[in-house]
Structure 1
Amino acid sequence: MEKPPQLPVRLALAVFAIANVAAALFAPIQDCDEVFNYWEPTHYLNHGYGLQTWEYSPEYAIRSWAYTALHSLIIFIGTLPFKVTGVARPKVVEFYFLRITLALVCALCQTRMYSVIARTMNPRVAIFFVLALVFSPGMYHAAPAYLPSTFAMYTTMLGFSAFMDWSGGIKTAQGIMWFALGTTLGWPFAGALVLPFLVEEAILASITGAVADGCSRVIQGAVGSILALSVQTGIDSIFYRKLTCVPLNIVLYNVFSSGSRGPDIYGVEPWHFYVRNLVLNFNMWFFLALLAFPLVIIQHFVLRKVVSNQTLLRSVVFVSPFYLWLTIFTAQPHKEERFMYPIYPALALNAAMSLHILLANFGSTNPAHLVSRIPASVKLALVSIPLLLSFDLGMLRTIGTLTAYSAPLNIYQPLHSAGVAQPGDNVCLGKEWYRYPSSFSLPQGVHAKFIKSEFSGLLPGEFSEANVGFGLFPGTWLVPSGMNDENLEDVGKYTDVKHCKFLIDSRLPSATTTVLEPDYLSDTEQWEKLKCVPFLDASQTHLLGRLLYVPGLPFVPERFRRKWGDYCLLRRRTPNTKPECPIALSMHLRVLGCSKWVCELAQWGSLIPRYHEINSVDDTGRTVTMSTLTPRLAKHVDTLREAARLHCTEFERILRQHCHTAKFHLDPVLKHVNVHPKAALYASLLLFTCTWLLVTVTRRLRTRARSRITPPNTPNLEKRSPFKAPDRPPGVWPPSTFTRPTAPPYPEWSITATKPLPYRPFRHGPKYNITMGLRTMHWDEWIELDNQFLDYHDLKAQRIIERGEKCCRTAPEAFEAAIELLEELCAYLSERYSSLYRKTGVGVENLVTGESFNILERPLQEDPMAMAGRLVQDDLAIMIEKKDGQYYLLAGSILLAGFWRLEDKFGMPLSEIHTSGDVPGFKEKLEKGMLNFFRRIQPQSPVLRNNYFIQVDDKLAWSESIGPEDSEGIGWFTAEKNKAIENHWFRSERQSLRRLPRSGGVVFTIRTYFHPVVDIAREPYVPGRLASAVRSWGDDVSKYKGKERYGDVLLEYLDNMHEEQVKDGLDLSREEEAHGYPY
């Protein structure tokens, strides 16, 4: 089986971060609730003023100050360097700093979930998960949004990751904590997403009988959740100055309100609202997400194939939250796009699983399947076209939204120019009040005000700015006037337009003016335009242009082109002001400042030449001199000031003339730039991606071409060391001429009398060294058979029948290596164990069982690894190097492994095989050396290693104490604790590693020796040495080997046995003479 490509975790993080940061910088704010309920209160905490909604009134208290204060603190800490250094920091910097921070937090959560999916399910599913999130418009708006539903989305990803990742034990408590944090600090209704995982926990507890452990995990999570809620309640109570549980208030308002109160008064939508919305935001991925559950069922019960490394129960649990959430909120009358944010990751996971299942079946090469007859090129086209179409639709939707509605974020820039706005000025909002991007867009001290429009609902008020005698942040607890929860209009929220120095207004071709919403842009006597940005007129634009980005190119039919209006920042004219461009005004102010500086310099310059003269005379003379100089200085300064004034006036006239000329020519260009800035950004990103892809493909093709070139066969006079790697490209193995030495017959070997070798590969503590533990192997040690052969043979044969390719499997690219292994075994076994095996013209014959093995016929009677497994007592595995330099498990006969399954590891690279099993110290101490060793190992230099485990049941093939073999819930956490010593078994493994000379595959043989602990403890020195070794395990090794489940009973027994041996006269000083590692 071809190992699916896997995106490195760091690269996945970079992809998520780039996409999210781009969204943070350019995505418009879609929901005024984000502005008025979160940005404005945050502005109040950081700057002392802001707009207040009724939800923050202490009478209702359905918004959490703990959530807002957290983000306010992030802004404060992030901008602290500006305060310390004294560098000016416009508030808009704070706005984008927080958005970027949220985007990066989202990227970390996405990466965490991606890595868990890749490790626990399938790398291909993880890749599709990335594609679904990165190229969907929905995440473009959700990732950087300052909303509780977005925060709940973050915690949902972390909660999913905790429940999905069972490496190192079930993480129920951690998963509950993440969901609880999203429920309390974020959005209370997000707690519904934990329900499928709790059901799974209950089912798992009933199946395994570990009810106490399951309850303990749930209780731990519940206690942590209550603690988090208590902290939040405490913070909110401090701000509101009364005991306040905000999550409870939210539930009471949304669920139990009725009549003129409750969320339904803000509008209701039909049942298909979310369907339409998710189709727009996720296109193909949404339909795939809907198919996930039926496809999982079909895959298991009809096609009888595994979806991933997970069981049916786990797969159903993983896909359930999406359906549960969609069902709950579809049934609610009041619907908002942001309500779907928490399940965006679940939608992506469902879609990724569906696509994985479809492709796995569509790519089948089984002749019995109809799809196997479809040419590969046609399959590629059928798969690529929908994916590319989804990518294009997603990008066009994103760019279309960005270019159409980004004006509110870009319109306030002129206010930050010197001299344009002053503290105390008002920026008024009429019909455009709901697009206001928050007070962070305004200069310090400039306030937003509302003027009356056709809207007749309740607008936000202002937080109290009282700062004397009220303590810190009085606006959080003082009850504002005019607030209600029925959306009833309060006229006290309006300001007369005559008090507005600045005004935000729009003019769309489709809009009609009214008395309350006049065309302020046409009133040039009262208002001048500081900046206008094109804004999409949705009602005049074709449906296609509203949904997607349609460029205004000549060949696009007029009816499909997008229609535009103007979104403008206006400034009130005063009687003595003339229309002028902002650039001229700004430069004018700079010139005036320059004039003042020149005058001051001239004044002081006239004094400097006289300074020493004045100070060189006595006091009387100084007085006379000063009285003489003063008239001269005054006259001289007046002359300089007049000259500077005339010069600056002329400069201003010339500048104003050129400014208007430049404005006339630049306006069309700037207008076009305002329409397409993000299109240019995404075009650049697309160009960069295509360039990177072209370079990567070119490099791969060149590498492949070089690998086909056979180097000249020149003699190498330098003798290589045994482990020195030959000069060869990764994934290319030039066949070696090495021939294994003929194996001598095993002396007096008997299938009934030859006992298993007494491997006891443990050392005295106090230090436990984590190493590969390699030693040289002699060729007559490669395969060891003993009088347990028939028992092993029968057990293997039974498991091959029962489990088939779950235990024995060969990928196509490893077939030649598997055949070479068969050839090696047939030759070696007939040489070493001639009383058991006899070589034939087509293979080998087992003289005891009567089996004949034909390794020449094609096709073989069975998988070559199954055939190899019948010949020996060992488990077998073959690692094949690919062109990325990694070694992959592509052939195996793993029938007696005890603690791991071939179906979980098959197709994995060497590093992932170990990291997915949480091998202690692998990353820190083993990975680099192991990868180098695999690269260097030569056919003539085989090696051996040993290891050992303790098992608390007597099953050689699969240790049932860690869970049923086909269950996903496996691990030491399911084992019964402190079983009687008679249930403890010593499991020792002897592994050989060698390179096959012709194919280059690296062969593992894993021979398991299995003895009751009570038997080996009778051997001299063994109980004391084993007890010392077990005590030397670090926490990571103890967890990996399950010590917590048996350590107390085992060590007590070993200590007692050791004491008995010492009492019986055991000479501890002679232990080294009696035993040498690994015996």
Structure 2
Amino acid sequence: MVKSPLSFRLRQNAPPPKRKETRKEGNKKPSKCPPPKIEQSKVEVAAPSPLVYPGGDTAFKALLSARFCAAIWSHISDCDETYNFWEPLHYLVFGKGLQTWEYSPEYALRSYTYLMCHAAPAYIYQKIFQPNPLLMFYFIRCILGLTCAFAEVFFYKAVCKEFGVHVGRICFTFLIFSAGMFISSTAFLPSSFTMYTFTAAMAAWWQQKYALSIFLTALGSLLGWPFVAWLGIPIAYDMLIRKKKYLDFFAWSAISLAVILIPMVIIDSVQYGKLVVAPLNIVLYNVLGGHGPNLYGTEPFSFYFINGFINFNFIWVFALASPLALLLNYFFVPSKHRSTLCLPCWLSLSPMFLWLLIFCIQPHKEERFLFPIYPMICLSGAITLDILQKLYFRVLGLIQKIPNGSHYLDKTIIYSLIVLIITSLMGVSRIYALYKNYHAPLDVLMEVNRFPLENNVPEKSQVNVCLGKDWHRYPSSFFLPNSNWNVKLIKSEFKGILPAPYSDGPNATKLIPKHFNDRNEEEPSLYFNVNKCHLLVDLDLGKETEFEPNYAKQKDHWKVIKTYRFLNSEKSNKFFRAFYVPFLSHDGDYVTFADFNLLQSTRLKVKNK
């Protein structure tokens, strides 16, 4: 932590100081934003001491540590991450993996260019060091964490400059300890990628770096998720309506479009064997495709509000209350104290509410859909907390005499510290609950990765690892020891379309599989015969159906070789399964765990290739 030399004679929310310039006064460029007005307040006169806040280097180290923790301990919460990104990436690196209907040339909804951006470092790492595939999985995750940390520290420094140091350090704390950022920061998903790009775009926008903000918004929209272009509306409004920068906006939009989309179309067209504009395809499918994404489950209107509280606790409440807080700030906090440097606060926060407006009314809701605005949730919560401190100080000044020279932080800093402690503890509690309750699939597949070494299985042996009802919890083929091991899907009660292995040969991405459809209809030909499985991954919830028997009880067919504990959500209290509470979140009255088993066939022996 470093001390700022600011005297804070104007207001606490002044931007942090810049380093002294070595160039002559006459060579200095004029500031793009007006300097704060020097006006004296009747109540806020001077801060007794400079504020303490993390510098850029310290902030980066702290954020990077948090993101590396997420890379190592976070589980995969969405099967879309496994089958639409990790599996095709495994194919690009090793020539083997599972394919979904979205990668069929018939539909071509996904971009191989996005995958190749991640495959390039993985391929180089594999060629130089020949690592175990599992190490490659965590290597890629660490790269994602590093990218996220870079975007966040850029965001944090811009927040300090635009909204003030106090807001910046609150936002920084929220970013580090929120469970939402822990989940999203290292997820291999376009929604996480667009979170990086949009976070950096906002930081560039607040610093009046319009060209960079346009390029980053375009990068996230074209290479990541096209719907994120909606978040760029406030930037366009600022440039076109407020600043009249027509030439800059259209010129940089055209340049960004050409630089990103042309190589993307070329790469994807080569991979698919026909002309493909993947961003356009995914928009057409979701907006004009008739059935669209609603085939894959819908959620009630309250879904995001409940999910937001679980992942951000009271930060989410503060964030949603930010419009009301801004109104109170406008009417009851003296206008002479600027709350922002370059832009109206309502305009800066508007992307978050524009995003919520669109996605809350959509029937199909998923946690990852809100990833792009997660840092904005932290910022909105920080601004609300700062305004509440100012309002409290204002009320306090009306009911008792406050000494001349008092600053609002003198009387309110303890309350912000209490809020930060509570929200941080709740964030850590949620993070630990996620690890404790849901990490078992990764632990079991790590056992599969160690299986050849511990059981003297020859390297060239063909081994079938089967998944039944737990197919959606499979972390990826990077957890298998080598390319001779095969993941197979057996019949369960699930009635939708399942992924299938890529075809053999160099042109697999160009071939149209006959067993795929875009209607989520079951395809029986994709099921594997359970009697040909060498290993089986199965969660024992203590109940059976015709297609989901309790394999652990079939002693003549299977033996349990490893068991990990996995949450039985149906038999657990909603609060205690969402947050870890010491002495209460153990297997007992409030939380119930089931056995997540790795089973080995007693009838089928492993054979060499």
Coarse TM-score class (shorter-chain normalised): 0.7 to 0.9
Change (3 A) 1:377 1:153: closer
Answering whether residue 56 of structure 2 is matched by residue 9 of structure 1, we say: yes
Identical counterparts, % of pairs: 35
Residue 22 of structure 2 corresponds to none
Which sits farther off after the overlay, 441-450 or 526-535?
526-535
Counterpart amino acid of 1:465?
Answer: D
Residue 883 of structure 1 corresponds to none
Matched residue SS, 2:589 = helix
Answering whether residue 564 of structure 2 is matched by residue 525 of structure 1, we say: no
Matched residue SS, 1:79 = helix
Residue 932 of structure 1 corresponds to none
Which aligned pairs between 1:899-918 and structure 2 lie closer than 5 A? none
Which of 533, 537, 559 is the equivalent residue of 1:500? 533
Residue 737 of structure 1 corresponds to none
Which of 552, 572, 579 is the equivalent residue of 2:601? 572
Which aligned pairs between 1:635-650 and structure 2 lie closer than 5 A? none
Q: How far apart in 2 are the matches of 1:191 and 1:154?
A: 14
Residue 895 of structure 1 corresponds to none
Residue 362 of structure 1 corresponds to 392
Matched residue SS, 2:465 = strand
CA contact (8 A) 2:156 2:172 kept: yes
Answering whether residue 495 of structure 2 is matched by residue 456 of structure 1, we say: yes
CA contact (8 A) 1:175 1:221 kept: no
Counterpart amino acid of 1:282?
Answer: F
Matched residue SS, 2:504 = coil
Answering whether residue 572 of structure 2 is matched by residue 541 of structure 1, we say: yes
Q: How far apart in 1 are the matches of 2:116 and 2:55?
A: 36
Residue 461 of structure 2 corresponds to 423
Which of 251, 266, 270 is the equivalent residue of 1:219? 251
Q: How far apart in 1 are the matches of 2:288 and 2:474?
A: 31
Q: List per-residue Cα deviations over 1:181-238 (Å, max 9, x = no partner).
A: 0000000000111101111112323xxxxx4x44334322332223311111111111
Counterpart amino acid of 1:522?
Answer: K
Matched residue SS, 1:425 = strand
Change (3 A) 1:558 1:535: closer
Which aligned pairs between 1:166-185 and structure 2 lie closer than 5 A? 166=208, 171-185=209-223
Per-residue deviation, 1:32? 0.1
Change (3 A) 1:371 1:488: farther
Counterpart amino acid of 1:428?
Answer: C
Q: List per-residue Cα deviations over 1:130-149 (Å, max 9, x = no partner).
A: 11111111111100000000
Which aligned pairs between 1:225-264 and structure 2 lie closer than 5 A? 225-258=257-290, 261-264=291-294
CA contact (8 A) 1:299 1:307 kept: no
Q: List per-residue Cα deviations over 1:998-1055 (Å, max 9, x = no partner).
A: xxxxxxxxxxxxxxxxxxxxxxxxxxxxxxxxxxxxxxxxxxxxxxxxxxxxxxxxxx
Which of 298, 303, 307 is the equivalent residue of 1:273? 303
Matched residue SS, 1:283 = helix
Residue 227 of structure 2 corresponds to 189
Residue 117 of structure 1 corresponds to 159
Residue 479 of structure 1 corresponds to 512
Counterpart amino acid of 2:57?
Answer: R
Which aligned pairs between 1:1009-1048 and structure 2 lie closer than 5 A? none
Counterpart amino acid of 2:468?
Answer: G
Which of 130, 134, 143 is the equivalent residue of 1:92? 134
CA contact (8 A) 1:307 1:357 kept: no
Change (3 A) 1:376 1:60: closer
Per-residue deviation, 1:116? 1.3
CA contact (8 A) 1:174 1:221 kept: no
Residue 138 of structure 1 corresponds to 180
Per-residue deviation, 1:128? 1.2
Which of 541, 544, 553 is the equivalent residue of 1:513? 544
Answering whether residue 450 of structure 2 is matched by residue 411 of structure 1, we say: no
Work out the number of aligned pairs and report it. Answer: 549
Q: How far apart in 2 are the matches of 1:109 and 1:33?
A: 24
Counterpart amino acid of 1:279?
Answer: F
Which sits farther off after the overlay, 361-370 or 391-400?
361-370
Per-residue deviation, 1:348? 1.3
Which of 341, 344, 347 is the equivalent residue of 1:310? 341
CA contact (8 A) 2:155 2:202 kept: yes
Change (3 A) 1:126 1:381: closer
Q: How far apart in 2 are the matches of 1:443 and 1:480?
A: 27
Q: How far apart in 1 are the matches of 2:441 and 2:414?
A: 42
Which aligned pairs between 1:380-391 and structure 2 lie closer than 5 A? 382-391=415-424
Q: How far apart in 1 are the matches of 2:367 and 2:203?
A: 25
CA contact (8 A) 1:430 1:504 kept: yes
Change (3 A) 1:13 1:361: same
Per-residue deviation, 1:314? 2.7
CA contact (8 A) 2:219 2:260 kept: yes
Counterpart amino acid of 2:117?
Answer: L
Q: How far apart in 1 are the matches of 2:541 and 2:400?
A: 57
Q: Which has the greater radius of gyration?
A: 1
Per-residue deviation, 1:365? 9.4
Residue 102 of structure 1 corresponds to 144
CA contact (8 A) 2:137 2:478 kept: yes
Q: How far apart in 2 are the matches of 1:45 and 1:98?
A: 14
CA contact (8 A) 2:191 2:224 kept: yes
Per-residue deviation, 1:310? 2.3
Q: List per-residue Cα deviations over 1:630-675 (Å, max 9, x = no partner).
A: xxxxxxxxxxxxxxxxxxxxxxxxxxxxxxxxxxxxxxxxxxxxxx
Counterpart amino acid of 1:408?
Answer: P
Which sits farther off after the overlay, 513-522 or 382-391?
382-391
Q: How far apart in 2 are the matches of 1:75 and 1:475?
A: 20
Q: How far apart in 2 are the matches of 1:539 and 1:57?
A: 36
Q: List per-residue Cα deviations over 1:235-256 (Å, max 9, x = no partner).
A: 1111011110000000000011
Q: List per-residue Cα deviations over 1:508-547 (Å, max 9, x = no partner).
A: 24xx201211111111221122211111111111222211
Residue 123 of structure 2 corresponds to 76
CA contact (8 A) 2:319 2:384 kept: yes
Per-residue deviation, 1:462? 1.1
TM-score, scaled relative to structure 2: 0.86
Counterpart amino acid of 1:436?
Answer: Y
Per-residue deviation, 1:347? 1.2
Residue 37 of structure 2 corresponds to none
Which of 326, 334, 338 is the equivalent residue of 2:356? 326
Answering whether residue 326 of structure 2 is matched by residue 299 of structure 1, we say: no
Matched residue SS, 1:124 = helix
Per-residue deviation, 1:327? 0.6
Q: How far apart in 2 are the matches of 1:380 and 1:115?
A: 21
Counterpart amino acid of 1:240?
Answer: Y
Counterpart amino acid of 1:427?
Answer: V
Q: How far apart in 1 are the matches of 2:401 and 2:547?
A: 66
Q: Tell me, which stretches of 5 or more residues in structure 1 are unaligned?
A: 84-88, 206-210, 467-472, 578-1079
Residue 635 of structure 1 corresponds to none
TM-score, scaled relative to structure 1: 0.49
Per-residue deviation, 1:80? 3.7
Matched residue SS, 1:326 = helix
CA contact (8 A) 1:364 1:371 kept: no
Counterpart amino acid of 1:139?
Answer: M
Q: How far apart in 1 are the matches of 2:111 and 2:81?
A: 13
Q: How far apart in 2 are the matches of 1:387 and 1:360?
A: 17
Matched residue SS, 2:172 = helix
Which of 457, 476, 501 is the equivalent residue of 1:438? 476
Which of 15, 37, 43 is the equivalent residue of 2:90? 43
Counterpart amino acid of 1:201?
Answer: M
Q: How far apart in 2 are the matches of 1:452 and 1:290?
A: 44
Q: Tell me, which stretches of 5 or more residues in structure 2 are unaligned?
A: 1-45
CA contact (8 A) 1:173 1:219 kept: no
Which aligned pairs between 1:878-917 and structure 2 lie closer than 5 A? none
Which sits farther off after the overlay, 335-344 or 533-542?
533-542
Q: How far apart in 2 are the matches of 1:558 and 1:427?
A: 32
Answering whether residue 203 of structure 2 is matched by residue 153 of structure 1, we say: no
Residue 348 of structure 1 corresponds to 378
Answering whether residue 476 of structure 2 is matched by residue 447 of structure 1, we say: no
